[in-house]
Amino acid sequence: MNELDVLAARFERDRAHLRTVAGRILGSADEADDAVQEAWVRLSRADAGEIDNLTGWLTTVVSRVCLDMLRSRTARREDPAEIPEDLPIVEPGPEHQAVQYDALGPALQLVLDTLSPGERLAFVLHDLFAVPFGEIAPIIGGSPAAARQLASRARRKVQGGAAPALSVRRREIVEAFLAAARGGDFDRLLTLLDPEVELRADTSSVRMGAGEFVRGATDVAGIFNGRAHAATVALLDGVPGLVWASEGQVRVAFFLTFDDEAGWISAIEQVADPERITATEVG
């Protein structure tokens, strides 16, 4: 086994951890996989002999990739170094511990959608994965105090509970979509889909007869119209989606991406890969 094979085997041992970190930060299974793959590309080009803590190094790299992806989403950059460092620091106390315990549940991802990229990264890494602020600081390009302030600000927003209304609204959209699909209400389906909505299916779904890629509300609605009678609404890694189960086991999952401002579904990912489904938190 050559050096690259050894490195690849070592990377595979950390893949699940990296995917969990990326998934929590990004809230998207597809993007998490992209971030993890990019971490591997960077590792394969690095001098592994100079890396003392490979897991820590990979966590830092995947976090940086995730931060860049979050910032690309918002089309704006934030500079944590400009955050005043003399603001009061709110450390987690008993009142915050309850929030953190709640954050471990499926609703966490919906809460994170309300945070800025820096807040989201600092909160997830510190509060969920116990990464010290000193290690978060270089990722966000600021000081440990700035990282601490971002996490504290995020914690207050989580405590403020802005996400429940968003969660309820998204679930209503999914329930309406499922009802329209079952009832064959084509016009209603169109109102719940982005005109440019994309439906992608993984390899396992394609083998089951699904089309690999479909774009446009008319075509996507046509696929679901009059169908989905066996599907049910479920939280997939904290985000409302649809699942089809057989004998008590999820066989197919539909991961949905939402345009919350427009109030419709902007993307659907159909997944039947057993490993991917097993790695997903279904609630």
Mean pLDDT estimate for the chain: 82
**Tokens (6 digits) for 210:** 């699904």
Q: Alpha carbon of 123 to those of 73, 99, 119: distances in Å? A: 18, 12, 6
Residues forming a β-bridge with 232: 243
pLDDT for position 206 = 93
DSSP per position, 36-50: HHHHHHHHHHS-GGG
Q: Give the pLDDT band of residue 151 (cuts 50, 70, 90).
A: confident
Give the residue-averaged pLDDT of 164-174. 81
Tens-digit pLDDT profile for residues 78-129: 443 333 333 333 344 433 333 343 433 455 666 677 788 999 999 889 887 8
Given a cut of 60, whether residue 59 has pLDDT beyond it is yes
Pairwise CA distance, residues 135 & 156, whole Å: 22
- pLDDT score of 131: 87
Kindly indicate the confidence band of residue 155, based on its pLDDT and cuts at 50, 70 and 90: confident
* Beta-strand relationship, 231-236 and 213-215: unpaired
List Cα–Cα distances, 121 to 57, 85, 101, 129, 201, in angstroms: 16, 18, 18, 11, 29
* Digit-coded pLDDT (tens) for 203-262: 999 999 999 999 999 999 999 999 988 899 998 877 889 999 888 889 999 999 988 788
Residues paired with residue 281 on neighbouring β-strands, in sequence order: none
Task: Please tell me the predicted confidence (pLDDT) of residue 93.
Answer: 40
Bridge-partner residues for 199, per DSSP?
214, 268
What CA–CA distance (Å, rounded) separates 85 from 225? 55
Domains and CATH numbers, the chain: 3-161 (no CATH), 164-278 (3.10.450.50)
Edge-to-edge strands of the sheet including 213-215?
213-215, 193-201, 264-271, 249-259, 239-246, 231-236
Instruction: Specify the pLDDT at position 159.
Output: 63
